[in-house]
C-alpha cells in the first residue's frame, strides 16, 4: 500500500489577523484636531459648572448673631401744664388702655382762668351790641342835625330877604349865618361819630367780629389748659418709669411716667459688617429668646438695615485718622419685625437678649426698606371737646339778648 503524496502550500495560522490597509488606520489630521478642541471645551464647561456649584454650596444660606435685643416704643407721659398732683390712677407694671386716666392735677387755677375767659367773652358780645346801638344813636343825631341845619338855613334866607326892607337888622342876619354854620358843624360831627361807631362792626356780625373772636379764642385756650389737668394714656400698653408722686408740684414738660406698647415690639440684631452681603429686606428670621429658652421660637422678617454702624451714632464717634489705627469689624443694627400673634401668646419685654438667625437664600429684596409705617400711631387732640363749643354758643346767645 502506497501513500499518495500530497502537496501542501505554506499555511497561514488561523488566529493571525487579516491584513489592513495603512491608509484606513491613520485618521486625517484635521478631524483629530477638531475632536481635541471639543474635548477641551467640554472639560472647561464641566469645570465651570463644578466651580459654580461649589460656590453656591459654600455660600452661607443663613446669618446668625446673638448680639440682638428687643426694642420698642417708650412713650413718655409729660405734663403740658404745671400743677399739683392730686391723683394717681396707674403704677409700674400695670396694663392700661388708650384713653384710661393716669394722673390728675389740681384744676383750681385753670377753673378760675376759664371762668374769667367766659366773662370776657360775654363782655365782648355786649360791647358788640353797644357798638351797634352807638351806630343807631349816631344816625339819630345825624337826623336831628340835618333838621337843625334846615331850620337855620331857612331862618337865614328869610332874614337875608328882609334886611333889604329894613325889617331886620344886619346883626340878626349875621347871627342867622352863624347858626347855619353851627348846625352844619353839628351835622358833620354826627356823621363822624356814626362812621367811628360803624367802623368796629361794619361788615361783621357777632360770629366774626374781631373782638368776639379773640374772646372765643381765649375761652378755648383756657378750656385746653383745663383739659390738661387730666392726663390719660395716649395708647394701650404697660406703665413703666413712674417718677411722679402724689402731692408733687410739676412744671410743664416734666416726665411723669412712660407707657410701653408690648404688642408692637421688634428686634434690633447687630450683625457684623462681614455678614451683611446677603441680607435683604423681607428675608425670614427665626428668633430665640433667652427668657424662654430654646423651647420657644419666634418668627419674623427683616424690615431694613440701619443707616450706619453703632459707632457712627455714638456721642463721641471714634477718630480713625491717627497713626496707630487698627481695623475693627463694625456692627450694623438690622431691624427684625415680630409676629403680633406670637407676642400675644409669649410676651416679651424691651431690652431682652435674643438670638437671631436670618435665612439669606432669597436675595431679591433691597438692603434698605423703601417705606415703613410710622411708629406709635396718632394721639387724640385735647381741646375740651364739643362741650366747649356749646358753652361758647350759650354765652353769645345770653349776652346778645333780643337786640339782634
Pick 56 or 241 by higher pLDDT.
241
Q: What confidence score (pLDDT) does residue 145 get? A: 78
When mean pLDDT is compared across 4-18, 107-121, 201-215, the lowest value belongs to 4-18
Are the C-beta atoms of 197 and 140 separated by less than 8 Å? no
When mean pLDDT is compared across 177-181, 231-235, 278-282, 303-307, the lowest value belongs to 177-181
- At which residue does the C-alpha cell 437678649 appear? 353
Mean of per-residue pLDDT scores for the chain:
82
pLDDT in tens, 145-172: 788 788 888 877 777 767 666 666 767 7
Instruction: Tell me phi and psi for residue 259, to 5 degrees.
Output: -120, 125
Q: What confidence score (pLDDT) does residue 21 get? A: 45
pLDDT (average), residues 99-125:
94
Cell of 255: 416726665
Q: What confidence score (pLDDT) does residue 30 get? A: 66
Q: What confidence score (pLDDT) does residue 156 get? A: 73
pLDDT in tens, 377-388: 677 777 777 888
Q: What confidence score (pLDDT) does residue 285 get? A: 94
Q: What confidence score (pLDDT) does residue 119 get? A: 94
Are the C-beta atoms of 241 and 328 separated by less than 8 Å? no
Cell of 53: 456649584
pLDDT (average), residues 54-82:
85
The count of other CB atoms within 10 Å of the CB of residue 343 is: 16
Instruction: Tell me phi and psi for residue 63, to 5 degrees.
Output: -125, 140
d(CA 56, CA 169): 131
Q: What confidence score (pLDDT) does residue 2 get? A: 42
Q: Cα dist. 21→18, 25, 31, 248 in Å?
A: 10, 7, 19, 119
pLDDT (average), residues 319-331:
78
Quick one: which of 259, 213, 225, 222 has its CA closest to 97?
259
pLDDT (average), residues 29-55:
79
Cell of 242: 413712674
d(CA 175, CA 239): 91
d(CA 239, CA 90): 7
Q: What confidence score (pLDDT) does residue 402 get? A: 47
d(CA 242, CA 91): 7
Which neighbouring-strand residues pair with 271? 332
pLDDT in tens, 342-358: 998 999 999 999 999 99
pLDDT (average), residues 237-264:
93
Q: Residue 172 half-sphere exposure, CB side, CA atoms within 13 Å?
A: 14
Q: For CA atoms 130, 131, 135, 137, give the dihedral sign.
A: positive
Pick 226 or 16 by higher pLDDT.
226
Are the C-beta atoms of 357 and 297 separated by less than 8 Å? no
Cβ contacts of residue 97 below 8 Å, gap of 6+?
Answer: 233, 236
Which neighbouring-strand residues pair with 353? 69
Are the C-beta atoms of 305 and 280 separated by less than 8 Å? no
The count of other CB atoms within 10 Å of the CB of residue 230 is: 15
Pick 88 or 318 by higher pLDDT.
88
Are the C-beta atoms of 90 and 96 separated by less than 8 Å? yes
Are the C-beta atoms of 281 and 304 separated by less than 8 Å? yes
Instruction: Tell me phi and psi for residue 185, to 5 degrees.
Output: -65, -40
The distance in angstroms from the start CA to the end CA of the chain is: 176
Residue 286 confidence (pLDDT) above 80: yes
Amino acid at each position: 500500500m502506497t501513500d499518495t503524496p500530497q502537496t501542501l502550500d505554506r499555511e497561514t495560522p488561523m488566529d493571525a489577523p487579516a491584513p489592513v490597509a495603512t491608509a484606513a488606520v491613520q485618521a486625517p489630521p484635521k478631524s483629530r484636531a477638531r475632536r481635541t478642541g471639543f474635548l477641551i471645551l467640554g472639560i472647561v464647561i464641566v469645570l465651570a459648572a463644578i466651580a459654580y456649584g461649589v460656590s453656591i454650596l459654600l455660600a452661607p444660606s443663613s446669618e446668625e448673631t446673638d448680639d440682638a435685643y428687643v426694642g420698642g416704643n417708650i412713650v413718655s407721659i409729660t405734663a403740658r401744664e404745671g400743677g399739683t398732683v392730686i391723683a394717681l390712677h396707674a403704677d409700674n407694671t400695670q396694663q392700661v388702655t388708650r384713653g384710661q386716666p393716669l394722673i390728675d392735677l389740681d384744676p383750681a387755677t385753670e377753673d378760675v382762668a376759664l371762668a374769667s375767659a367766659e366773662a370776657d367773652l360775654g363782655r365782648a358780645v355786649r360791647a358788640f351790641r353797644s357798638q351797634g346801638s352807638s351806630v343807631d344813636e349816631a344816625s339819630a343825631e345825624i337826623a336831628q342835625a340835618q333838621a337843625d341845619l334846615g331850620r337855620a338855613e331857612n331862618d337865614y334866607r328869610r332874614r337875608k330877604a328882609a334886611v333889604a326892607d329894613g325889617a331886620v337888622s344886619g346883626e340878626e342876619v349875621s347871627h342867622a349865618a352863624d347858626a347855619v354854620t353851627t348846625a352844619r358843624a353839628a351835622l358833620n360831627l354826627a356823621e363822624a361819630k356814626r362812621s367811628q361807631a360803624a367802623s368796629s362792626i361794619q361788615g361783621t356780625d357777632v360770629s366774626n367780629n374781631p373782638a368776639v373772636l379773640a374772646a372765643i379764642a381765649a375761652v378755648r385756650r383756657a378750656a385746653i389748659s383745663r383739659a390738661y389737668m387730666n392726663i390719660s394714656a395716649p395708647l394701650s400698653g404697660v406703665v413703666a418709669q413712674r417718677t411722679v408722686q402724689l402731692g408733687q408740684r410739676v412744671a410743664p414738660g416734666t416726665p411723669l411716667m412712660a407707657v410701653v406698647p408690648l404688642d408692637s415690639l421688634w428686634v434690633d440684631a447687630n450683625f457684623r459688617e462681614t455678614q451683611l452681603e446677603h441680607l435683604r429686606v423681607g428675608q425670614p428670621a427665626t428668633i430665640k429668646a433667652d427668657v424662654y429658652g430654646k423651647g420657644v421660637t419666634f418668627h419674623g422678617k427683616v424690615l431694613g438695615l440701619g443707616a450706619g454702624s453703632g459707632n457712627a451714632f455714638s456721642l463721641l464717634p471714634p477718630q480713625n485718622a491717627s497713626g496707630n489705627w487698627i481695623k475693627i469689624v463694625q456692627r450694623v443694627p438690622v431691624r427684625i419685625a415680630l409676629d403680633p400673634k406670637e407676642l400675644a401668646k409669649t410676651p416679651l419685654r424691651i431690652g431682652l437678649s435674643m438670638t437671631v438667625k436670618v435665612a439669606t437664600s432669597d436675595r431679591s429684596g433691597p438692603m434698605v426698606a423703601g417705606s415703613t409705617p410710622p411708629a406709635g400711631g396718632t394721639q387724640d387732640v385735647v381741646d375740651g371737646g364739643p362741650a366747649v363749643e356749646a358753652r361758647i354758643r350759650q354765652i353769645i346767645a345770653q349776652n346778645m339778648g333780643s337786640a339782634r
